[in-house]
């Protein structure tokens, strides 16, 4: 399980890290992205994560989310009559 988790983390690190943080280790990414506290605020149309910008700046976090979203395949068009 440990090897699988490491390989998955390393694979994602190579695909979804912006240029300024590409040289960070998996430990740095884990401590600055995963192990930080966030408040999840749910509104009618969206869910927001409120977290401090001391770990990672807002623009870098937005870049990471954009790169993760780009990994998803585009939706298949509907063939309904």
Rounded distance between C-alpha atoms, residue 29 and residue 21, angstroms: 9
Integer CA distances (angstroms), 8 to 15, 17, 21, 30, 68, in order: 11, 14, 18, 13, 14
16-36 tens-digit pLDDT = 888 888 888 888 888 887 777
Rounded distance between C-alpha atoms, residue 16 and residue 26, angstroms: 13
Q: What is the pLDDT of residue 71?
A: 86
42 band by pLDDT with thresholds 50, 70 and 90: very high
Task: Mark out the alpha helices in the chain (DSSP H runs).
Answer: 2-16, 26-29, 58-70
The alpha carbons of the chain give a radius of gyration, in whole angstroms, of 16
Q: What is the pLDDT of residue 41?
A: 92
């Amino acid at each position: 399980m440990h090897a699988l988790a490491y390989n998955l983390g390393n694979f994602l690190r190579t695909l979804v890290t912006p240029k300024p943080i590409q040289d960070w280790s998996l430990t740095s990414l884990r401590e600055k992205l995963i192990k930080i506290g966030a408040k999840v605020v749910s509104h009618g149309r969206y869910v927001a994560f409120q977290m401090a910008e001391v770990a990672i700046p807002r623009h870098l976090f937005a870049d990471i989310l954009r790169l993760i979203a780009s990994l998803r395949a585009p939706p298949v068009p509907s063939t309904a009559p």
